[in-house]
A and B are shown apart, each in its own frame.
Chain A
Amino acid sequence: MKGYRKYFGKKIFWFVLTFIAAVILNFILPRLMPADPVASITGKLAGGNTDAQAVAQIYERYQEEFGTNLPMHQQFFKFVKNAIHGNFGLSFSQYPRSVSDIISSAIGWTIALQLPAILVGWLLGNLLGALAAYIRKGFDKVLLPVSLFLSNVPAFGMAVVLLVVFGVYLKVAPTAGGYAFDMIPHLSWDFIKSVISHYQLPFWSIVLVSIGGQAVGMRSMSIYELNADYVKYSRFLGIKDRKIVGYVFRNAMLPQVTGLALSIGTMVGGALVAEIIFSYPGLGSTMYSAVTSADYPLISATTLIITVMVLIVTFLLDIIYGFIDPRVKAAQFE
């Protein structure tokens, strides 16, 4: 048990350090952008006002509200203090909405879109990959090139092709937004129907791309395991084929589970482009508009969410792997 404690202690130490460094970088990088968003807000609100003194007052008033008049390090401590309470300040581009408000309205859409899409793509892909490895012959000959090709279609390409074919030509699904533009989100049958129809294209564009990648990965892992010595030995012993296949796929799953966890961790950044193309009201679109309008409180907060999600997932994976596969832990102490 002492080995585990030392292993985890070391892991936790480096993860905390990574987390701190990541928070600092997430804070500083967007703020180094040479644009002055406060000035642009002032310009918008003081539009037409020629009284220089009044404009200067408005500018100072906003500087105070956004806290940009403080030196960088004081801004940082204020940011951290507020962030712990879930307060990321006010957004520049969507003033006077707060960043937390914008994010909480967007994150639901992203999770509702991505999580099922990632899971469905992963399940279908692995199933197909395992089948291809087991059946081989014709099925594999067709499936491998097709899934390799699918997995190489860029996410935005798949999104655009689906949009054009099903949205523009066949007109079976709407092309933009999370729900009909003339609706206000509320709980009713019409609204749910609208959400579901808007959901189809972004959902399938993510699923199709991920099916390909997962199938290729699972297929080669399964072939690798099927050729392993223990399989030959089990066959030799006369163990039933079904039981061997069970063992093989359990072993082949391990790296696939890692892949699943990582894609859940990076899901916000992962489908950024798909969300932008379908103007889906999720975090990806939010981040895109934040970037284009130099809205750094919003950029910091969204990238922080991604960072924390990725960190947590990699951390959990490391811990779980330490338990599942002692070789990983042992490798650290060689």
Chain B
Amino acid sequence: MKNTIKQVFHSPKFVGGFVIFVAILLTMIIYPLFNPGNPLQQVSVGTFARPGTYVSLYDATKATSNTLRLPDADEKRVAASLSAEDRVAMVEYFTTMGIDISELDTEDTDALLQMWDDNYDPSVRPKGMTSAKVNYYKRLNTSLQDLKSGDTLVIAEEVDGELVESKKITTTDYVRTGAVANVKTLPLGTDNFGRDVLKELVSATGTSILIGLIAGVVATLIGLTFGLLAGYVGGFLDDFIMFITNIFTVIPGFVLLILITYSIGQEQRGAAVVATVIGLTGWTWTARSVRSQVISLRNRDHVNLSKLSGHSLIRIILTDILPYIASYVVMAFILQVSSGILAEAQLSMLGLGPQTTKVPTLGLMMNWAMLYSAHTNGSWWAYFPVILVITLISFSLNLMNTGLDQVFNPTLRD
């Protein structure tokens, strides 16, 4: 046993998969320690806040400030507030004024503003330009001048129905992030409900792995029992078990799942129930392959010897057959876990997953991201990490499986 384990850990593939899987498990355990709280709590109002660090504007105005004179601060400020439409409009103005813009780069804010200062003349009304457009350019010019001159902002508080100036903010005032009372980093933004995606993702990974484990245990137990009985006993029992197996193979699993989903109602549909149902519909291939392995074993000499010695059926199966297929069963279990996680994701995407308000799962996160069309409105953080995590879990499990396969089947070795 010790030797086998040592051998297993010498397989680079198994170790690779194992490391990825353990890393995921550790993140799942350690991350909540640093960032405790309910993963389903709605942090942001509104959907899909972008990833990044959020600084409380209120607290920032209250915090003591330092004066920094940074050379490129003005330019950055103007660049950030100059929208793409404004840039296009400026270029349009230059063309109507008949100015050579062949060397102008609209992304180069400095050059653009320089040209604007040189050429804009509010008193000239270009031919054919509507007065709405003329006024637009006037407003644009005013706001550009304001931005550059660095107007002072006044913070006023309301006292007895009057506004009383409490603070002035100039363009050179800076606040250290540490001095602001409330700074929140959302590394993966928020989802459609306004939940912290990273926190939810970590918790969902845990639930999904648990679902995979439950589904894997259920499926492997049923498959193993049926496979052992069908393969060893044979005859009518074999035919009957294969008949049941065939029925479960040909009826799409999700038809059974829909029925169970409807009949138990959404109230009862927790993660454990969904996991059990996935296990109940996913055992067929394990039964088939265990059966074929057992068939090749049942006429071995040591089995016949046990039979002649009058050992009971259960004892023969447990001591003479099971140890020979144990490695195979472990591998089948690993595959069942990974397909259970996938099955949950697919079910949830059809809207048949566990109850949304109770637990987050990877499939539910995916489902809601799709329902709120995160994929078409550019909110990559709501779905891409989910796909990546599902892929990584399944990849690590399969890599471990391939490694085990090479250890136990020497003919497959490189």
Interface of A toward B, CB cutoff 8 Å: 10, 14-15, 17-18, 21-22, 25-26, 29-30, 32-35, 136, 140, 145, 148-149, 151-157, 160-161, 163-164, 168, 175, 216, 220, 223-224, 227-228, 269, 272-273, 276-277, 288, 291-292, 299, 303, 306-307, 310-311, 314, 331, 334
Contact = CB atoms under 8 A, between A and B. Distances in A.
Nearest to B369: A160
Contact of B395 (A149, A155, A334): A149
B250 A156 contact: no
Nearest to A157: B387
Given A164-B380, A276-B350, 13 more contacts: A15-B246, A18-B250, A33-B258, A154-B346, A156-B366, A160-B370, A160-B375, A220-B412, A228-B411, A303-B255, A307-B250, A311-B246, A334-B298
A32 B263 contact: yes
Interface in B358-408: 366, 370, 375-376, 378, 380, 383-384, 387, 390-391, 394-395, 398-399, 402, 405
B258 A314 contact: no
A144 B133 CA distance: 61
A29 B378 CA distance: 40
Nearest to A327: B296
B104 interface: no
Contacts of B251: 22, 25-26, 29, 303, 307
A51 B378 CA distance: 50
Contact of B376 (A22, A136, A149, A175): A175
B329 interface: no
Nearest to B239: A14
B255 A29 contact: yes
Contacts of B395: 148-149, 152
Given A14-B242, A14-B246, A228-B411, A157 B259 contact: no
A28 to B, nearest CB: 9
Contact of A34 (B262, B342, B376, B405): B262
Contacts of A30: 255, 258-259
Contacts of B414: 136, 140, 223
Interface centre among A21, A216, A228 (most CB of B within 10 A): A21
A140 B402 CA distance: 14
A175 B375 CA distance: 11
A291 B250 contact: no
Given A33-B258, A156-B366, A292-B351, A273 B247 contact: no
Contacts of B398: 148, 151-152
Contacts, number: 135
A14 B394 CA distance: 35
Interface centre among A15, A136, A220, A314 (most CB of B within 10 A): A220
B243 A17 contact: yes
A33 B262 contact: yes
Interface centre among A32, A140, A164 (most CB of B within 10 A): A164
B31 to A, nearest CB: 22
B255 A227 contact: no
Contact of A154 (B252, B256, B342, B384): B342
Interface of B: 234, 239, 242-243, 246-247, 249-252, 254-256, 258-259, 262-263, 292, 295-296, 298-299, 338, 342, 345-346, 349-351, 366, 370, 375-376, 378, 380, 383-384, 387, 390-391, 394-395, 398-399, 402, 405, 409, 411-412, 414
List 5 A-B pairs, minimum CB-CB distance, nearest first.
Answer: A157-B387, A152-B394, A152-B395, A310-B250, A18-B246
B243 A154 contact: no
Contact of B256 (A29, A155, A306, A314): A29
B235 to A, nearest CB: 11
A132 B239 CA distance: 40
B258 A291 contact: yes
Contacts of A155: 346
A280 B387 CA distance: 21
B378 A154 contact: no
Nearest to B259: A29
A164 B375 contact: yes
A334 B242 CA distance: 16
A163 B374 CA distance: 12
Nearest to A265: B250
A286 B146 CA distance: 58
Contacts of A18: 243, 246-247, 250
Nearest to B392: A152
Contacts of B249: 310, 314
Nearest to A25: B251
Given A33-B258, A160-B383, A273-B349, A25 B412 contact: no
A32 B387 contact: no
A223 B413 CA distance: 8
Nearest to A270: B252
Contacts of A35: 262
Given A18-B250, A310-B249, A314-B246, A156 B349 contact: yes
Nearest to B261: A33
A23 to B, nearest CB: 10
Contacts of A307: 250-252
B346 A156 contact: yes
A7 B230 CA distance: 17
Contacts of A26: 251, 255
A310 B251 CA distance: 9
